[in-house]
Amino acid sequence: MGHNIKTRTGHTIFAEDIGTGIPVVFVHGWPVSHKMFEYQMNELPKQGYRFIGIDLLGFGKSDKPWNMYTYDAQAEAVHEVVEHLGLNHFVLVGFSMGGPIAIRYTNKYGAAKVDKLLLLSAAAPVFTQRDAYPFGMKKEEADDMIAQIQTDRPNTLQNFREMFFAQEHSEPFMEWFFHLGLEASGHGTIQAMEALRDEDLRDELVHISAPTYIFHGKKDEICPFDFANEMTGGIVNSTVIPFEHSGHGLLFDEKEKFHTELMRVLQG
């Protein structure tokens, strides 16, 4: 069933909620929606888990306000969903931009609620290069992408999807994925990229106490594998699960391996 959840700020967050059992909450990446987790939506309820997929503000079926795209604002949106659904013990999964948002949520609201944290191709602890952090794209490259979005968002997203995968996928699949990004608001897409460009979670990693599993593709061109090393170096109780043949979209590049590893973590 779909929930339209009214937040403290008067906005509506959409969450898909399917199945029964231990809740597994999914937070998507830039610039798509909970629909990117279609395969998990199909499979987890069969295995006795409750799939909950949140559309972040500005994306998918959620409201698209003018200026609610910081990690704090999005973490609060996740918090509002968790409270509305009365979740007390659950597994939190964050993909790409959803990774740092999941970290911020856990530290700010969910330390007692998140039993396991899964970071998939996470844009954490920092997405862009800065002092003592030579990984990822330069801030100027993020600025260029923002300028391109303002000029021709569809073309920018089409170019982005070409970087997303290391394996070949069918053209209909690629079109489907491309259109998920087009569902987002233009201003939300831009301001979320500004958050990716500017935010820094290096000091927050040490506060994560939940068992954390870092799924990361060795061929990731968007969030390099160096990110995984930085995350596990800061999160005490963490395990890296490398995907040798995957780019950023490891859920699709090595779909069967991802499902196997996901079930192993959930059942462990």
Active site (catalytic) residues:
96, 220, 248
Please state the separation of Cα 20 from the chain's center in Å. 23
Question: Is-contact 215 261, C-beta < 8 A?
Answer: yes
Question: Hey, what are 258's tokens?
Answer: 């991802």
Distances in Å between the alpha carbon of 70 and those of 32, 44, 247, 253? 16, 30, 26, 29
DSSP string over the chain = -EEEEE-TTS-EEEEEEESSSEEEEEE--TT--GGGGHHHHHHGGGGTEEEEEEPPTTSTTS---SS--SHHHHHHHHHHHHHHHT-SSEEEEEETTHHHHHHHHIIIIITTTEEEEEEES---SBSB-BTTB--SB-HHHHHHHHHHHHHHHHHHHHHHHHHH-SS---HHHHHHHHHHHHTS-HHHHHHHHHHHHH-B-GGGGGG--S-EEEEEETT-SSS-THHHHHHHHH-TTEEEEEETT--S-HHHHTHHHHHHHHHHHHH-
* 114 strand-pairing partners: 90
Letter for the amino acid at 1? M
